[in-house]
Structure 1
C-alpha cells in the first residue's frame, strides 16, 4: 500500500532546512537588539522551532524526528561544501578570500557546538510539545508552544555557548549570553504566536489530521517509526 506524501509537510520540511542554513550564516554577525548582543541568527532561527511545533502538533513526533535529522544532514552537507569551497585555490584576480572565510568558515569547535546544540534543543522541543499535548488533551496550544520553545531554546543556547566559548569568555558573560539568546528566541515565539495558531488550525483542517503520540517511541535514533 502506497503512503501518500503531504505537500504541506514537504513544504514545512524545506522551510525548516532553509531557516537552519540562513541562521548559521547570519550567526557570523553579532547584532544589538536594544541593549542585548546576540548572533544575527536569532532573527530567523526561532522560526525553525515554530515549524517544529507545527509539525509535532499536526503530524506528530515521528515526523518531527524525520525533519530534525534531515535538517542535521543538510547542515553537514553545507559545512562540507563550504569547507571545500574554502580550501579550493581562489582565482588570482579574486581578492575576497578573507571575507569569504569570515562568513562561511567556522572552527571545528563552533561547528560541533552548533550541531550538538541543534539536535538537543530540537529533540527536547519536540518531546515536550508531544508529551504535554497528551497531558493537556490537545488543549492550550499557546502554553504548550511557549513551554516547549523555552525548554528547547534554553538547552540549545546553553550547549552552544558553553561548548563554543567556555575558556575564552568570563563565566558571567557566558551566562548573560545564554539568558539573552533564550529570552530573545522565546519572546520571538510569543510575538508570532497568533500567526502560528492560525497556521496550525489551517493545516489541521487541510490535512484532516491532529496527531496524538500515544504509542510513539521518543528515541531520537529510532528508525522503525517514520
Structure 2
C-alpha cells in the first residue's frame, strides 16, 4: 500500500507552495470590477496553514526550522534564476530568450520582495500563534489560527507590495495611494481564504497527531 511520512508530506507541500508561488505569482487574473489578484492567492494561505498545523503538534522550534528551509529555497531560486537568465542561449532557443527573460526576470524581483516579506511574516505568524496558545491553552484553535494569519498576512502583503511595486520615479503620495489600493483588498481576500481553510487546520492537526 502507498504510504508516506506525514511530516515529510507537509514539508513537501510547504516548499511546493513557496516555489510555485514564486515562479507563477507574476500572473494576475481579474476578480471583480477593477480588482485583480495574483494566482499565488490560492497557495499562499496554505503556507500559513501548514505553519499552524506543525506548530500546534510539534511546537515553534520545529516550525522555525522549516521556515529557514523555505527561506533557503527562495535564495536558491533567486540565484539559479539569475544564472539561467544570463547564460547565453543556443541558436535553437534564441527566439524564446526574450520571453524567458521577461517571465523569469519578473520572478527574480518578486522572489526578492517575497524573501523579505516571507522572513518577517512567517516568524510573526509563529510568534502570534505561540503567544496566544500560551494565553489560551489548546482552546479556540480557529481563533489562534486566523488571528495569527491575519496579522502575518497583513505584514506579508504590505512588505511584498512595497518592495515589488514601489515606483522610485513616482511621488510618495502617488505610491501610497496605489499600494493601499493593492494591499487592503488583497489582504482582505487572503483573510477570507484563511477563514475558509480553518477546517483544514483542524483536520491537519488531527491527522498529524495520529500514528504515521
TM-score range, shorter chain: 0.7 to 0.9
User: Would you say the 8 A contact 2:22–2:111 is kept in 1?
Assistant: no
Give how far 1:26 is off: 1.7
Q: Which residue of 1 aligns with 2:87?
A: 88
CA-CA distance at 1:109 after TM superposition: 5.3
In structure 1, stretches of 5+ residues that fail to align are 1-5, 208-226
Cα deviation per residue 1:89-129 (whole Å; 9 max; x = unaligned)? 11112221122122222386544321110011111011111
1:22 to 20, 24, 28: 20
Given the two structures, how large is their TM-score scaled by the length of structure 1?
0.83
Spell out, residue by residue over 1:15-74, the C-alpha distance to the aligned partner (whole angstroms, 9 max, x if none): 111100001112111222223222221121111111111111111110110000100101
Q: Report the equivalent of 2:161.
A: 161
Give deviations 1:129-151, integer Å, cap 9, x for gaps: 11111111110110111101000
1:73 equivalenced with 2:78 (yes/no): no
How many residue pairs match? The answer is 202
Rounded Cα–Cα distance in structure 1 between residues aligned with 2:55 and 2:30: 32
Structure 2 stretches lacking a partner, 5+ long: none
CA–CA distance in structure 2, aligned partners of residues 57 and 177 of structure 1: 32
- State the TM-score, normalized to the length of structure 2: 0.88
Q: Aligned equivalents of 1:92 and 1:76: distance in 2?
A: 30
Deviation sequence 1:161-180 (CA, Å, 0-9, x none): 12222235632120121112
Larger fraction in helix: 2
Does 2:58 align with 1:53? no
Structure 1 residues 64-73 or 162-171, which shifts more?
162-171
Contact persistence 1:28–1:102 (CA under 8 A): no
| Ranges of 4+ aligned residues in structure 1 off by more than 6 Å | none
TM alignment of 1:94-113, pairs within 5 A: 94=93, 95-106=95-106, 110-113=110-113
Q: Verify the 8 A CA contact 1:132 1:144 in the aligned structure 2.
A: yes
